[in-house]
Amino acid sequence: MNKLAVVVALILPSSVLLATSLLVTGCDDEEGDAAEESVGPIVGVMELPISLRNSDSAPSNAISIEVSPTELRVDGHKVLDLTGGAIPPDARQGEVLPAVQQAVGAGAARRAAVLDVHVSTPYETTALIIGSLKAANIHALAFKVRKPGGVGDVGYLVVENYLVQAFSNDATELEGPTQRNWDDLVAVWQEAYEGCRRDHYVDCSFKPNVVAEGGKLELRFFARGSALKIEFQRFGAEDIDAEANAAGPALLDGIAPAQAFDEEGPEPATAGAFTWRFDAAVDELSPISAAMRPLCGPNPCGIGVTGDKETMTMRLVSLIGAAFPDGTQAPQLVFHVPAP
**What SS3 class is residue 322?**
helix
Local structure of residue 78 (DSSP, 8 states): E
Q: Which residues of the chain have pLDDT under 70?
A: 1-39, 239, 241-264
Which pLDDT score is estimated for 255? 56
203: Cβ contacts below 8 Å, ≥ 6 apart: 273, 274, 275
Percent of the chain with pLDDT over 70: 81
Contacts of 32 (CB under 8 A, 6+ apart): none
Q: Among 53, 46, 39, which residue's Cα sits nearest to residue 289?
A: 53
| Residue 32 to residue 190: CA distance in whole angstroms | 62
What is the spatial distance between Cα 97 and Cα 315, in angstroms, rounded to a whole number? 22
Report which of 323, 95, 314 is spatially closest to residue 225, judged by C-alpha positions.
314
Q: Distance between CA atoms of 336 and 317, rounded to whole angstroms?
A: 14
Q: For the chain, which domains are there? A: 45-160 (no CATH), 182-236+267-337 (3.30.420)
**Side-chain-facing half-sphere of 260: CA atoms under 13 Å:** 6
Residue 211 near residue 271, CB atoms below 8 Å: no
